[in-house]
Structure 1
Amino acid sequence: MSAPKAHKTNAMRMLEDLGIAYEILHYDNEDGQIHGSAVAEKIGLAPETVFKTLVAHAGQNGFVFVIPVGEELDLKKAARAAGEKKIEMLPLKDLQKWTGYVRGGCSPIGMKKHFPTFINAAGESLEQIAVSAGKIGMQMVLAPAKLADAAKASFADLVKRADK
């Protein structure tokens, strides 16, 4: 899992500026498998502790949602958390323009512009979670409360339930 030391990303620099401890886990992405469950397997963490960063919008207002890799964002719950009537996923072609990050390397911190950010409530009770460090092949592991501090995020119920 260890790879050669990479340059620091905006997310890593921001955590260091805030004095927040984190650990970097590297994985190889030569097979192009950047979906979350493959990432969790590659870094040796349970999928419920590895979170993906999703970007949505309501018109020109952007929002960031951080949910476990094996879950699906419930857009109605996300809109409620964001205080909007309706939100839509940001088109992939706009991701880098809005955030400065590419698909598979989008971190909830260190974006070009800060967007209101929400972390799935289940993450709050975990000891640590992993999120993208801002580059494909790098995950950062830190305490959920510290991630929330760095991202100026709040916790909310954001995922679809299997029983619905």
Structure 2
Amino acid sequence: MQLTNAARQLKQRNIPFTYHSYEVDASDVSAKHVAVSLGKPLDQLYKTICLENEQRRYAFFLISGELDIDLKAAAKAWGAKKASPVPMKELEALTGYIRGGVSPIGAKKRFPVYLHDSAKQKDTIIISAGKRGYQLELTPADLLRFTDGHWFTQ
């Protein structure tokens, strides 16, 4: 099995993770589809959303699969006046990832990472491995430690 860049980086730092793969449906890259494909609960799957603020700075926000991002709460956690999703057409050039395969690990540039506090109640969470069809399962604490991440509430 070929590891993604995100998985290789975790392995190099000896951070334990489980590597999951699933059949990709290009017409449905939703968190719900991924959770069903993996046979995992939707609230264990955390989707990565790349946001930009008014100063054109960027950050990754991870929220549980059943939630929608609250942009005001994200901006507040980030110390920004406002936050908005990076336009799809700019996502790959900025991060190196395409929609449905964005990971907070191994992006072209290192951006701040914010993990929704619902993950505090989870032993492990599942995040994108940086390529459609692959996911990483790890503890929230390991993700925050690896990314120098922060908790946020919405």
What TM-score results when the alignment is normalised by the length of structure 2? 0.95
| 2:7 corresponds to 1:12 | yes
Q: What SS class does the counterpart of residue 94 from structure 1 fall into?
A: helix
Structure 1 residues 90 and 31, CA, compared in 2 at 3 Å: closer, same or farther? Answer: closer
Match 1:65 to one of 41, 58, 61: 61
| 2:31 corresponds to 1:36 | yes
Q: What SS class does the counterpart of residue 76 from structure 1 fall into?
A: helix
RMSD of aligned Cα (Å): 1.1
Q: What SS class does the counterpart of residue 151 from structure 2 fall into?
A: strand
How far apart are the structure 2 equivalents of 1:144 and 1:28?
A: 25
Q: What SS class does the counterpart of residue 14 from structure 1 fall into?
A: helix
Q: What SS class does the counterpart of residue 118 from structure 1 fall into?
A: strand
How far apart are the structure 2 equivalents of 1:52 and 1:151?
A: 16
1:161 aligns with none
Q: What SS class does the counterpart of residue 147 from structure 1 fall into?
A: helix
Mark the runs of 5 or more structure 2 residues left unpaired by the alignment: none
- Matched length: 153
1:46 aligns with 41
How far apart are the structure 2 equivalents of 1:120 and 1:74?
A: 11
2:95 aligns with 99
Match 1:119 to one of 110, 115, 118: 115
Identical aligned pairs, as a percentage?
Answer: 33
Q: What SS class does the counterpart of residue 58 from structure 2 fall into?
A: strand
